[in-house]
């Protein structure tokens, strides 16, 4: 055998013994080529064989140990065929072992996370893989390895697995669904002489020279290179990246991507992404993904890792959507979508991929919601018919007639109670729209037949408010007949309606628990104390949950479990945009109360620049002098170094000492104990405090008709829906009320957003704007705990939502139980999407 081939054979054997770590020769096997190629030509080795060996070894550093083993085996066989004089026995001595990538070799490379090898558990192509191929054949069945931990990958051991876990990456599947947060478009090449300051571009050129210059008395280094392309030369710098100077070679072509800057009148590039031109280009000369990072992980490493995982495993992901849905909805396949989402060929391809993956999320959400609704509708519940004469008598007991919206809500609830299936209705209406009266009538319909009802509120003060209102409506108001006969008694006696909150004395709680178990207490109103184990009902048939998004899934389910399929009415004063009503609340029957009782004056709303704060203080002084009260809201409890926002505790002291020294100011915030919060709110309600300084905990609070001013500091930090809730705390009496919004700065754009509050009192318009600007989180609250986070679906995209909803409904009608064997992949995806399946039926 020729010396050059014998040398290569020995190096390959040593590399196999080392577990294919690319350290059999100094600098790696690709660096061997500079010396070996001239030796091979001197030995008269065929040019064809030299080119094959050169091409294979050039890509060797980027391969996984398994792929490196296959590459070297292939080269040895090629050499064997080309050297007819060499016997098979000679080659038997240097057979190369396959590496188990899930075993020790992978583990031992745990320190090499900055420059990984490949990530395949099967052999990979030896040639560079084109990023994001546009046509992928569907894989039949899905490998279980997708749910394997990332530690099965070479170069990722326990330590780096912990680092990836901080990004939410635990399995190979997690990597496929860990999407870029943005994309930089480096796909448009420009000659150097046409570059312009400030643009982000890709430049291809030849490295002219490389130097290292010390900075800060030698404490840092600046790597400088000059790259030319025939049209001009560009100075490129890297700060404190000495390794770059060792990798850049004068005379070699490279690709640079980054932002064009300026220094001493000349255009420069600072710290650009770069790659040798021959390598597969993942970071330059294309639309480049930019992933969310954490400490100890670089963008370049994660990008390479993702490319190898997505390119190999993407085609092996089983598409959960039935073919008929894919065709009808005009979607691309899941494999193509994943590949294009990570490494798009074009912006159009990226948008198409995002549409497919977002559709999947909404479709799975809709199927889950439909299943919940079906499960609820299949249950039976007690039938409550409403006698028209009885209802007319109860309406006559009210001090005012119902609005049209209240009448419609009452009709919906009566139909639900008489249907024989459990009511599962969301009653949505602005603050002051009269939801409590409708709830009271629903309670009356159930209680008149001897059953029990429970109302759960998120705070003690709100529960107490409901108790007083319902006591007035159900246990106080009687009817005096015109013929002078005996008056019609109220629906309940005082002792049949009780309040149970955390502050209720234990002796009284014990009495209430006994009354509920024995059945002589008909209506109980309270907080989460109602769902504690000792509380048992004799015949609970109606559950009403106020501000239901503030209760967790488990809390609502626990209250419902106190009865046997009780009717459920949930109420919220937060206007819910149409897109959310179609998706997240799609399992609930929705009633919207969009009409306010007559006589309510709209709250006069104004945006004031910070320098006009004294005008707001004067208005408060004038209102207090007239016997009214005011709220002042802050976004923070206490000031912090990280935020310039005003805070309640510090400003309460300043306002009391310097601005309103002769007035009484209360302080309310989330760090107070529940009993302290309740005490502050009661004292404000009873007039002991003329001004209440508070954080957002007052958003859902006590009804204080005497409060006429709502001043909100740092208003730009709140969402429009939340500002609307604050505004709803005033204007509850007959007097004109005011809402004053003071942003942190007089910024025009921010003030333009706040101007929407001035333009409309319609909570639904504000909710739609808020959803567009701030996302769905504040609307969903704890309800999201029933299903996976939506990564790509935009809940303002009503067209996509309606499209996915139509497809889900059509599919669900044909196979509601997902019993067809062809739909098993969808059932698996559904279980994965909804987590442990504990989603609340409501």
Between residues 522 and 96, the one the model is more confident about:
522
Question: If we measure between CA atoms, which residue out of 41, 182, 67, 178 comes closest to residue 119?
Answer: 67
How far apart, in whole angstroms, are the C-alpha atoms of residue 756 and residue 763? 11
Summary mean pLDDT of the chain: 79
- Is the predicted pLDDT of residue 550 greater than 80, yes or no? no
Res 779: pLDDT? 52
How far apart, in whole angstroms, are the C-alpha atoms of residue 669 and residue 699? 11
With bands split at pLDDT 50, 70 and 90, how would you rate the model's confidence at 280? Answer: low
- Helix, strand or coil for residue 477? coil
Res 640: pLDDT? 54
667, burial (CB in 10 Å: exposed 0-12, middle 13-18, buried 19+): buried
Give the rounded distance of the alpha carbon of 448 from its chain centre: 45
With bands split at pLDDT 50, 70 and 90, how would you rate the model's confidence at 92? Answer: very low
- Residues of the chain with pLDDT > 90, as a percent, come to 22
Res 591: pLDDT? 86
Between residues 417 and 642, the one the model is more confident about:
417
How far apart, in whole angstroms, are the C-alpha atoms of residue 303 and residue 548? 42
Res 784: pLDDT? 43
Res 440: pLDDT? 92
Res 2: pLDDT? 81
Helices (H), 314-447: 323-329, 334-342, 347-377, 388-397, 404-417, 435-447
Q: Comparing 98-112, 130-144, 739-753, which segment has the lowest mean pLDDT?
A: 98-112
- Is the predicted pLDDT of residue 72 greater than 70, yes or no? yes
How far apart, in whole angstroms, are the C-alpha atoms of residue 607 and residue 742? 6
- Residues of the chain with pLDDT > 70, as a percent, come to 82
Q: Which of 189-193, 400-404, 780-784 has the highest mean pLDDT?
A: 400-404
Positive or negative torsion for Cα 714, 719, 722, 727: positive
pTM of the full structure: 0.60
Give the rounded distance of the alpha carbon of 184 from its chain centre: 23
Between residues 152 and 416, the one the model is more confident about:
416
User: pLDDT tens across 459-477, in order?
Assistant: 787 888 889 888 888 887 6
Helices 347-377 and 824-833: crossing angle, nearest 10°? 90
Name, in order, each residue with C-beta under 8 angstroms of 831's C-beta and a sequence gap of 6 or more.
Answer: 837
User: pLDDT tens across 388-435, in order?
Assistant: 888 888 888 787 888 898 999 999 999 999 999 999 888 888 777 788
Q: Comparing 131-145, 198-212, 811-825, which segment has the lowest mean pLDDT?
A: 131-145
How far apart, in whole angstroms, are the C-alpha atoms of residue 366 and residue 829? 13
Res 94: pLDDT? 35
- Is the predicted pLDDT of residue 761 greater than 90, yes or no? no
- Is the predicted pLDDT of residue 113 greater than 70, yes or no? no
Res 282: pLDDT? 60
Question: If we measure between CA atoms, which residue out of 783, 769, 647, 618 comes closest to residue 714?
Answer: 647
- Is the predicted pLDDT of residue 788 greater than 50, yes or no? no
Res 88: pLDDT? 35
Other CB atoms within 10 Å distance of the CB of residue 647:
19
Q: Comparing 260-269, 501-510, 588-597, 613-622, which segment has the lowest mean pLDDT?
A: 588-597
């Amino acid at each position: 055998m020729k010396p050059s081939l014998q040398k290569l054979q020995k190096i390959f054997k040593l590399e196999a013994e080392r577990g294919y770590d690319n350290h059999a020769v100094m600098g790696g096997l690709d660096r061997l080529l500079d010396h070996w190629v001239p030796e091979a030509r001197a030995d008269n080795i065929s040019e064809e064989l030299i080119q094959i060996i050169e091409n294979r070894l050039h890509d060797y550093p980027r391969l996984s140990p398994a792929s490196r083993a296959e590459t070297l085996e292939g080269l040895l066989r090629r050499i064997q065929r080309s050297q007819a004089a060499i016997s098979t026995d000679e080659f038997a001595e240097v057979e190369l072992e396959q590496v188990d990538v899930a075993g020790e070799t992978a583990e031992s490379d745990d320190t090499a996370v900055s420059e990984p090898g490949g990530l395949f558990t099967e052999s990979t192509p030896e040639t560079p893989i084109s990023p994001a191929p546009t046509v992928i054949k569907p894989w039949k069945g899905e490998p279980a390895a997708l749910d394997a931990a990332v530690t099965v990958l070479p170069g990722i051991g326990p330590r780096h697995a912990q680092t990836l876990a901080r990004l939410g990456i635990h399995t190979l599947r997690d990597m496929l669904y860990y999407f870029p947060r943005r994309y930089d478009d480096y796909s448009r090449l420009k000659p150097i002489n046409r570059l312009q300051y400030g643009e982000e571009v890709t430049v291809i050129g030849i490295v002219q020279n490389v130097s290292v210059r010390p900075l800060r008395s030698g404490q840092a280094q600046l790597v400088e290179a000059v790259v030319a392309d025939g049209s001009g030369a560009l100075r490129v710098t890297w700060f404190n990246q000495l390794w770059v100077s060792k990798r850049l070679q004068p005379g070699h072509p490279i690709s640079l991507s980054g932002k064009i800057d300026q220094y001493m009148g000349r255009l420069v590039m600072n710290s650009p992404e770069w790659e040798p031109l021959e390598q597969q280009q993942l970071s330059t000369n294309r639309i480049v993904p930019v992933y969310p990072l954490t400490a100890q992980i670089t963008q370049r490493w994660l990008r390479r890792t993702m490319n190898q995982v997505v390119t190999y495993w993407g085609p092996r992901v089983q598409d959960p959507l039935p073919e008929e849905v894919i065709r009808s909805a005009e979607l691309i396949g899941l494999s193509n979508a994943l590949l294009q989402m990570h490494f798009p060929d074009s912006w159009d391809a990226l948008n198409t991929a995002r549409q497919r993956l977002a559709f999947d999320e909404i479709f799975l959400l809709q199927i889950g919601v439909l299943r919940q609704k079906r499960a609820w509708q299949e249950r039976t519940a007690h039938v409550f018919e409403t006698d028209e004469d009885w209802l007319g008598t109860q309406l006559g007991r009210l001090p005012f007639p119902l609005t049209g919206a209240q009448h419609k809500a009452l009709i919906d609830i009566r139909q639900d109670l008489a249907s024989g299936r459990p009511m599962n209705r969301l009653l949505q209406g602005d603050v002051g729209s009269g939801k409590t009266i409708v709830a009271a009538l629903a309670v009356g319909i159930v209680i008149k037949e001897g059953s029990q009802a429970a109302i759960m509120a998120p705070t003690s003060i709100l529960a107490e408010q409901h108790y007083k209102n319902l006591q007035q409506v159900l246990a106080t108001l009687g009817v005096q007949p015109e013929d002078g006969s005996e008056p019609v008694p109220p629906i309940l006696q005082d002792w049949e309606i009780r309040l149970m909150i955390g502050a209720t004395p234990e002796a009284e709680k014990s009495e209430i628990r006994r009354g509920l178990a024995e059945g002589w207490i008909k209506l109980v109103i309270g907080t989460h104390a109602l769902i504690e184990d000792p509380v048992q009902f004799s015949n609970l048939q109606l559950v009403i949950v106020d501000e239901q998004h503030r209760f967790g899934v488990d809390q609502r389910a626990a209250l419902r479990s106190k009865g046997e399929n009780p009717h459920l009415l949930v109420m919220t004063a937060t206007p819910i945009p149409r897109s959310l009503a179609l998706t997240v609340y799609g399992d609930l029957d929705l009633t919207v109360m969009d009409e306010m009782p007559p006589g309510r004056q709209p709250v006069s709303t104004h945006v004031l620049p910070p320098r006009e704060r004294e005008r707001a203080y004067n208005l408060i002084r004038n209102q207090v002098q007239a016997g009214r009260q005011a709220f002042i809201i802050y976004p923070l409890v206490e000031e912090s170094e990280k935020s310039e926002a005003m805070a309640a505790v510090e400003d309460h002291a300043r306002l009391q000492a310097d601005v309103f020294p002769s007035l009484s100011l209360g302080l309310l915030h989330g760090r107070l104990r529940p009993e302290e919060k309740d005490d502050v709110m009661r004292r404000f309600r009873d007039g002991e405090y003329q001004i209440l300084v508070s954080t957002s905990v007052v958003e859902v609070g006590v009804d204080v008709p005497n409060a006429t001013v709502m001043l909100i500091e740092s208003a730009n930090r709140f969402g429009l829906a939340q500002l609307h809730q604050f505004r709803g705390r005033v204007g509850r009496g007959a007097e004109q009320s005011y809402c004053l919004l003071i942003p942190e700065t007089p910024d025009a754009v921010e003030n333009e957003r706040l101007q929407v509050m001035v333009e409309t009192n319609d909570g639904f318009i504000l909710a739609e704007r808020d959803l567009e600007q701030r996302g769905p989180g504040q609307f969903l609250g704890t309800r999201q705990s029933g299903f996976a986070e939506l990564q790509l679906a935009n809940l303002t995209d009503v067209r996509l939502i309606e499209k996915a909803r139509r497809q889900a409904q059509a599919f669900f009608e044909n196979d509601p139980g997902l019993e067809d064997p062809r739909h098993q992949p969808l059932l698996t995806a559904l279980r994965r999407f909804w987590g442990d399946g504990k989603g609340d039926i409501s």
